[in-house]
Structure 1
């Protein structure tokens, strides 16, 4: 009886194993493209030649700062080069917050896009209701401010005093601008300061508060600060330049609080490179904007500048510059492949060229 029981049990077990094995064989294979992308990214990430080649490109250009590279959605390089403060022997590191200059503009543009999506503005809304004491601005549209086609001109100079309140910062810009009839592309920080004023009037809150509530807090950005709230104990990268065959030569521009105070919405933020990556991803993953909202803001189908970003055939580039501080983002609109550079000593051939070279190298690189 016991022998028959064990025979029956063994037979059931064998049948069970056969059924499980058959189901495993018949199970559909994972999507080949997805599997290839993941494996390729891991191979590149683990290959020391990739970081070595990037380092060689960076050193050849005498670039000092931090570099972040994304390939197929995976960070494959996150490195710091040179000194943040050469005199005090303080090295650059990825946790430092650097002045991002005009990279702030696309964030201001994103806040405008959120208001458009909420039905509180349109890209064709005119400035008449927002700046009634400035009739020269009345017929300028939101879209024209976003794309620097407003006809507004303003010299980018130090105001000579600290502008403590956002109202003071906005009034300073309003007192300095000139409006011409030429509405071709003319880049000026004033356009984005005026957009900051629109954001404040529509929301009833300070621009900085809206930025905090709509971008910084939702994305959990831990190292993003306005110019006056940067932690005093955090190392401030000093701006340098490469000259006469020597690194770390004094740059004419210094982190001047008076100048930062005049760049409301246009270039007064400090940010870490990882925080910048989060914001780039947030432009299309729904955390800041949906893909549809981003396309409306950025007009990605058209080559040129829109919403704080340059666009060309599926690629984007964003540039910020304040003396020796130079920031650059280059990659595809989907952020699958991306290069971010934060420099306190720019590349000798320009950070745009360095970012492009790194991008082309990493996209083309294969372990096969």
Structure 2
């Protein structure tokens, strides 16, 4: 006799996978236990109505006192069938109640509640962000950008499409958004219109080009920096709207050469940029027309005595750099001073320069 091609085994296998996946999550497990408890409560009520002929309210009362084992008396003596039904209800119902209570305690005292609270706090913080930086991609380069921005106290937000990093970001208190950084909806939700800068650090050059193009279209005034894996992509990123393009392989090659030829200089920069407790930083001061520094000499500004910083370079209005400018150099509006000194002093100096109150 030929076998039927129809089999229930795949259906049962798929159902078991769904149930196992659902029970692996504490919240879903608690929801399932509440649903099972409601079913037991309904079946117990209906059972007392059919077996003992009790009114619905009395049947519900009997079911509740049976499941909770409070020891209250019966509304009226039960028949032998009713007692057997009560025994079965106790065996099934008490275990169900205990399981539901256990799941509730696990959620309240476990990591799930803490994670939920932290996630909501970070979401509220994300909604309030303004004049912040958006980092698209939380790979090795994106993580380094995050560490540097955290060290400098700069507000930022991370966008990544990998949901597995969510728990890590929550533990570190990093505002984030799980989504595609090349999509308008994701960038708008990240506050791209209120943002100050955008860092495209995605793993694919094509994604970085699209992310830069999208970000520039949503915010023409955005300061955009992008990562490029090869030199051919740099021109595309600039055409897409990137202000600066960084090639990690080119920079890495320069650092290897520096470490080989001038190891002490390499160690100095390594200490300044990679040690979390480093107190040295490099900043920039763009001189506006109304800045008190405009028209003064470097010695007249007295930045070294007042702010404990040294001017190590000047970017002139024509884009050329002047390294180690002399003390009698006159600062012109539109130029940018590159200064090095204590990190806190650098940040305070940059803030005051933006307000033209140096």
Instruction: Indicate whether the TM-score tops 0.5.
Output: no
Question: Larger relative contact order (C-alpha < 8 A, sep ≥ 6)?
Answer: 1
TM-score in terms of structure 2 length? 0.20
TM-score (norm 1): 0.20
Greater Cα radius of gyration, structure 1 or 2:
2
Q: Which has the higher helix share?
A: 2
Structure with the higher fraction of residues in strand conformation:
1
